[in-house]
Amino acid sequence: MWDYVGMSRDEAGLKSAITEIRALREDFWKNVRVLGEGEELNQSLEKAGRVADFLELGELLASDALNRRESCGGHFREESQTEDNAAKRDDENFSYVSAWEYKGEGVEPELHKEELTFEHCKPSQRSYK
């Protein structure tokens, strides 16, 4: 049992979140109703666009969290912890900056990586206790 205080996630929960977000997005597009006229500023249309953006962003964030199988900083991955239940980094496999490209509904997002190099300060396992 882990005793970490903060944001915790695991593979099953992240996969479930992605499925739920996709279902919400499908329901949103089936049932969204935007009132107003085309000749004036339509705040309802603007708000609906923001909701659609947030649903796409939420899925991309969950996809990134699912891909990054390590605990680092304030994000604790339950599958990645030390014997004393502390966050366990995986710098060998996750020393990169990631950017996800949304490819459209029903298509898996594409991961773009920029590898990081450390010259002066080397990454190391930290204790958050």
Could you tell me what percentage of the chain is helix, strand and coil, using 3-state DSSP and rounding each to the nearest 5? 35, 15, 50
Sign of CA dihedral 35, 37, 38, 42: negative
Would you call 99 helix, strand, or coil by DSSP?
strand
Q: Which domains does the chain have, with CATH numbers?
A: 7-33+40-115 (1.20.58)
Chain segment 13-48, per-residue pLDDT in tens: 999 999 999 999 999 999 998 887 777 888 888 999
- Burial class of residue 123 in the structure, from the number of CB atoms within 10 Å of its CB (0-12 exposed, 13-18 middle, 19+ buried): middle
pTM of the model: 0.70
Mean per-residue pLDDT of the chain: 85
Give the chain's length: 129
The residues, ordered by sequence, that sit 6+ positions from 15 with a Cβ below 8 Å of its Cβ are: 66
